[in-house]
Amino acid sequence: MPRRRAVGQGVDLTLDGSASRSVNGRPLSFSWAKTGDECPFSHEAKLTTHLPPGVASFTLEVRDEAGHVSQDDLLVEITAAPGAK
């Protein structure tokens, strides 16, 4: 089940996988994608973005040099600003 987060429209949304660690301390690679998309939109551990009102679902894939992969899903609800149409 994905973690859920709610943010208001116009608020910076930070996607952060920087707390991920390799068991042996080796470098990790990161891939952020909208859930269901095959092509990642970022390979940064942490990024900030803005989204229109609605629901967005993201998948973070973290991979180590040995090929071990871990995934985490996040569901974000962006609420319209008060008085917005």
Domains in the chain: ranges and CATH: 3-79 (2.60.40.10)
Given pLDDT bands bounded at 50, 70 and 90, which one contains residue 11? confident
- Is residue 71 within 8 A of residue 60, CB to CB? The reply is yes
The whole-angstrom separation of Cα 79 and Cα 77 is: 6
Q: Could you read off the pLDDT of 12-31 as tens digits, one per residue?
A: 889 999 999 988 888 999 99
The whole-angstrom separation of Cα 7 and Cα 20 is: 23
* Eight-class DSSP state of 56: E
* Eight-class DSSP state of 19: T
Amino acid letter for position 83: G
pTM of the model: 0.81
